[in-house]
Amino acid sequence: MLDFLGEPDAARRIETACAKPSTQMGTTTEIGDAIAKLVMT
């Protein structure tokens, strides 16, 4: 979706964050927080 909207860099940051082990286990909130933290750095 972000690629389609012309935001390829944001798309890659999210894809990279989602592939990290720290975003694979936990509650929905914990996983979301971990992804957000990785995307913002």
Using one digit for the tens of pLDDT, what is the confidence trace for 14-23?
A: 999 999 988 8
Helix extents (H) in the chain: 8-19, 28-40
For residue 14, what pLDDT is reported? 94
Q: What is the pTM of this model?
A: 0.74
Domain spans, the chain? 8-40
Query: How far is 23 from 5, CA to CA, in rounded Å?
Result: 25
Confidence of residue 41 (pLDDT cuts 50, 70, 90): confident
> Is residue 13 within 8 Å of 39, Cβ to Cβ?
yes
Span 2-38, pLDDT tens digits: 999 999 999 999 999 999 988 899 999 999 999 999 9
The predicted structure's pLDDT at residue 31: 92
- The region, left, alpha or beta by phi > 0 then psi within -120 to 50, assigned to residue 6 is left
